[in-house]
Amino acid sequence: MSLKDKPVTPQLGPSGQKPTYQRLDSLEQLPSKGRVEHTGYVQSVSYSAPNVAPRLTAVVVDRLGTVSARRGTVPHVRLAFMGQKTVPGIKPGVKVEYSGMVAPVDQIPTIFNPRYVIVPEARR
């Protein structure tokens, strides 16, 4: 049997398999590494300095609290959007559903370039 008889099809990974994400009910369940999906609130947004590569960073928590709640005492995850000066819809107080690979960076759980969806809030 030669290669002419059987065509070769390129595959980059296992065919038909989608990566599995661990669905979190609370950020207290956040693993140190792995794929996760979660819904939370953007607590704060920060931007990179003008003289470095663009990066927008958002801190996400389970629920918005008072101003006195310190970030170190509340479970949180950092979403880092590399190469972005702004990200549509990402601002403090917005409810966001996101997924991605968690990695500890400076002892803070971080997801680089996550997939996200802004969750609409019911009007009062």
HEC string of 10-21?
CCCCCCCCCCCC
pLDDT of residue 19: 75
Residue of 100, 98, 78, 99 whose CA lies nearest to 89: 98
Model-level pTM greater than 0.75? Answer: yes
Work out the number of other CB atoms within 10 angstroms of the CB of residue 21: 15
Mean pLDDT by 10 residues, the chain (124 residues): 60 67 91 94 93 94 71 83 93 95 94 95 76
Instruction: Report pLDDT for 18.
Output: 73
What integer pLDDT is reported at residue 11 of this predicted model?
61
